[in-house]
A and B are shown apart, each in its own frame.
Chain A
Amino acid sequence: MNAPEAKSGFRHVGTRPVRPDGIDKVTGKAIYSPDFVAPGMLQGAILRSPHPHARIRSIDTSKAEALPGVKAIVTADDFPTLKSLMVTMGESAGNIIHVSRKCMAQGKVLYDGHAVAAVAATSAVIAAEALKLIEVDYEVLPHVIDIDEAMQPDAPLLHEDMVTEGVQPRPDKPSNIPTYVSKTKGDVAEALGRAAAVVEGRYSMPMVHQGYIEPHACVASWNADGQANIWCSTQGAFVVRMLTASVLGISQADIRVTPLEIGGGFGGKTTVYLEPVAMLLSRKSGRPVRLAMTREEVFRASGPAPGVQIDFKIGATADGYLLGADLSMKYNVGAFPGNGVQVGLITALYHYRFESFAMHGWNVVTNMPGIHAYRAPCAPQVNFAVESAIDELAYKLGIDPIELRLKNAVVPGDPGFTGGTLGEIGFVECLEAAKAHPHYSAPLGPNQGRGVAASYWINAGGPSVAAVSLAEDGSVLVTTGSPDIGGSRASMAIMAAETLCIPYEKVRVTIADTSAIGFSMVTGGSRTTYATGKAVIEAAETIISIMKARAAGMWGVDVADVAWGDGEAICLDPAKDNQRLPIGKIAARMNNTGGPISAEASVNPHDYLPAFGVHICDSEVDPETGQTTIVRYTAIQDVGRAIHADYCEGQIQGGAVQGIGWALNEAFIHDKAGRLDNPGFLDYRVPVCSDLPMIDTVMVEKPNPAHPFGVKGVGEVPIVPPLATVANAVSRAAGVRIRDLPLSPDRVYSAIKSKG
């Protein structure tokens, strides 16, 4: 399991060394965002709406201001008026006006938990008391939670000025539908007419949450000269800087964002909810201010993943070739327009060679918190529908479900998801590995069923900066702007050590603040090991070039006669007797041979490749109660090449289990008044340790030729297949197809009962 065996040809890539930040994290020394303390810091708190939809008539803060110990109060009036501007946050995009309104309601509250005012006080107790003294006069409006109801012409309107984009001619009336998208290929009706078997169904699931264990928290300190510090946990300090500066209308260079250790994000920490508010409280009070969410606030007022309602019709020939797919997707994006169905469109069908398809999609706004990225954002929802239907089709045709997928799987050279052609993808290899896995042929017990599903995720590249420098003893400092959310310091150190041919322990990695390193996109999109890794490798290669030049100078030979290997410069000039200069000796003399040796690489690669995964699940269903047990689970994935094998497996296992939770129990539940009824870990049921078996992983390695070590992104695709994998297994075990998530005991029981 843990043996540090390197792949042939590599000295570090594929090994499993201890992470460089490990000891801090097992001894309680690591500083996460709720741990950070600034001198003289005040404690902030946010007043949140108890109504899902209401007009704010007035806010009276006078009593709260009079409370001793209260130092600042902020409402929407303190936020500048913004012009419409689309901004990208890495895995999601949005209008800066909406980013601002997620920090503080302006005019209307749009969901239960929407922020309406904030206080900074000398203690948390005083801040909490002050919130009770703020009087908000609400005009409560009718609310809408359900997708179908929100799409009705007479539905309560969240945004009076919102008309549907993507419809021609442009609608003249506002609606709750911000986006319509479509894409077609061939004649679906004709193709389905020729099909030997057709499966048709409606699939649905409610909103779910990333469920990171660390609630959002930050400390902001904004000085009178306009310069500010923000300490927070984020997947992207540069996103925090850009969004905070944009929301407040100030210069980005005036804000230094220091990313503290981050307690999970899964896409959910690629935006701001607290930072601009803490900044305003700090400016008003003249002191650093901490804002930290409670768990309840996280569930009520951060960005969940969309719920969906999907109608899907699919047909195939008698020998299992897919003829056509007719797909209608409605994504509940919460209170603000967001990137929902747009991603659904490119993650739905492109892993199979459909002769024809018609895809239509709508985003729908409702009185729930606005969605944000969650691990392969918006892909698991549509994949659940597609892979459930494929499974039904396979059984209908009497074809093995993996075999049917193999018959239709895309291969290198097939059309890409967003244009171009597919590169060295490993889909077929994953399907073959699944078919050959002992799990797939193992016998099943009573009341058990086996499910399988396949998925892809587009992955991402994008901008990253890395700096590499030598210490005088030849040890190596790597600095990046990519927060380490799951062991990426270790993978950066491995790639630097591999490039420089030096021991792993000689490389130390720092995650820098926004003033200490150039722009890097978020840790997200499965891009960090790939893109930031490329920057690290490129900077390390520059370091090698410099060291070779220094060695050439020291030897008095041409640089062309110097090679690099085994952590040392090697003189190729026969006259010099194959002399060698180790990195330590070059470093020791660097300030006499031309100065400090350091290099920075700025990259913006887009030669990433999509990731594919195939999962197998055995479930056991109690026919009397509808309770499901996950008996066995295997996740197979093309990882390109694993840099740190343990953290690669860990991503696959963690993603699979999040997906299992999504399939079985996780759901936002709203009461009749439109309030979130389960804003805690007791009733928002993420999987606990005893719910699960071991998660077996198979890492298929089909290297990405565009990455020096073959990296493809691994972090996101593992959450995509589990929804259908589990649903297929449960449907098989229960003897009845279930098309709605979660597969809670009462739902499974009802399905069993209804089949009679």
Chain B
Amino acid sequence: MTKQFVTTTVNGDTAEFICEPGESLLDALRGRLQLTGSKEGCGSGDCGACTILLDGEMVCSCLVFAAEAEGRVIETVEGMADGSVLHPVQRKFLEHAALQCGFCTPGFLVATKALLDHNPDPSEHEIRYWLAGNLCRCTGYDKIVRAVQDTAREMRNERKTA
């Protein structure tokens, strides 16, 4: 079968790659573009470690064909920081020790950013259900939820003072 030539936007830059028609976007990001921040924990959409934003909506990149990325806009964990300035959620995850092994962390960070983009003041209940598609086996989620709450608080305050 013919390979696909894909032109897309990743973290603000144009990216081009050739892929197999049945290849997942996660495999293309990791294998073709060397963006290994998005992780594969399951390959079936059950763990969320591969979460990215596709046209602004969070999706499991293991459940997207790479060929579908043609002309779309992709954001990954590698694009969250503004240069060397961490996104608030990245900083808060560190301050709250919301990661232990760190393998699920990229997915949680992207998912949290998407949450706060949609809902700047989520309740604990909303946070927990929004993040239910991201498995963490190390932390028991407690410090993750607290980091998200604190990020939301800080981002709201920044908006107020801005």
Residues in chain A within 8 A of chain B (CB atoms): 1-2, 16, 18-19, 21-23, 25-32, 34-35, 37, 125, 210-215, 261-266, 294-295, 485-487, 644, 646-647, 649-651, 653-658, 680-682, 686-690, 692, 694-695
Contact = CB atoms under 8 A, between A and B. Distances in A.
Contact of A295 (B42, B109, B128, B142): B42
A685 to B, nearest CB: 10
Contacts, number: 183
Residue among B129, B136, B141 with max Cβ neighbours from chain A (10 Å): B141
Given A263-B101, A650-B140, 4 more contacts: A18-B95, A26-B93, A658-B137, A687-B141
Residue among B42, B102, B109 with max Cβ neighbours from chain A (10 Å): B102
Contact of A213 (B34, B47, B93): B47
A695 B78 contact: no
Contacts of A686: 135, 137
A686 B135 CA distance: 8
Contacts of B36: 28, 31-32, 34-35
B140 A653 contact: yes
A654 B100 contact: yes
A264 B141 contact: no
Contacts of A294: 43
A486 B101 contact: yes
Query: Considering the complex of A and B, which 7 residue pairs feature the smallest CB-CB distances, nearest first?
Result: A28-B37, A263-B103, A657-B140, A646-B97, A25-B102, A486-B100, A653-B140
Contacts of A213: 39, 41, 47, 49, 101, 103-104, 135-137
B102 A261 contact: yes
13 contacts: A22-B99, A26-B93, A26-B105, A27-B37, A29-B78, A32-B103, A125-B20, A261-B102, A263-B39, A264-B138, A295-B42, A650-B97, A657-B139
A275 B145 CA distance: 37
Interface of B is mostly: loop
B144 A35 contact: no
B100 A26 contact: no
A682 B139 contact: no
B44 to A, nearest CB: 6
B152 to A, nearest CB: 15
Interface of A is mostly: loop
Given A263-B102, A654-B140, A681-B135, A690 B97 contact: no
A18 B93 CA distance: 9
B101 A653 contact: no
B151 to A, nearest CB: 12
Nearest to A27: B81
A22 B42 CA distance: 24
Interface residues of B, number: 59
A646 B143 contact: yes
Residue among A27, A28, A265 with max Cβ neighbours from chain B (10 Å): A28
B35 A262 contact: no
Contacts of B132: 688-690
A26 B109 contact: yes
Contacts of B106: 26, 28
Interface in B5-50: 20, 30, 34-44, 46-47, 49
Contacts of B137: 210-213, 264, 266, 654, 658, 686
A487 B97 contact: yes
B109 A653 contact: no
A339 to B, nearest CB: 23
A720 B133 CA distance: 27
A653 B143 contact: yes
B39 A34 contact: yes
Residue among B36, B39, B140 with max Cβ neighbours from chain A (10 Å): B140
Contact of A30 (B40, B95, B102, B146): B102
B48 to A, nearest CB: 9
Given A264-B138, A485-B101, A654-B139, A28 B78 contact: yes
A22 to B, nearest CB: 4
B61 interface: no
Contacts of A485: 100-101
Interface string B45-88: 01101000000000000000000000000001110110000100
Given A18-B95, A25-B99, A34-B39, A650 B143 contact: yes
Nearest to B96: A2
A681 B100 contact: no
A486 B78 CA distance: 22
Contacts of B91: 26
Residue among A25, A26, A30, A295 with max Cβ neighbours from chain B (10 Å): A26
Residue among B99, B133, B137, B143 with max Cβ neighbours from chain A (10 Å): B137
B27 to A, nearest CB: 8
Contacts of A487: 97, 100
A298 to B, nearest CB: 9
Given A213-B103, A653-B142, A681-B47, A1 B96 contact: yes
Contacts of A262: 101
Residue among A22, A486, A680 with max Cβ neighbours from chain B (10 Å): A22
B78 A27 contact: yes
A263 B50 CA distance: 14
Contact of B140 (A19, A265, A692): A692
B80 A27 contact: yes
A439 to B, nearest CB: 15
Given A681-B135, A689-B145, A34 B102 contact: no
A695 B105 contact: no
Contacts of A658: 137, 140
A101 B35 CA distance: 36
Contacts of A680: 42, 44, 46
B46 A681 contact: yes
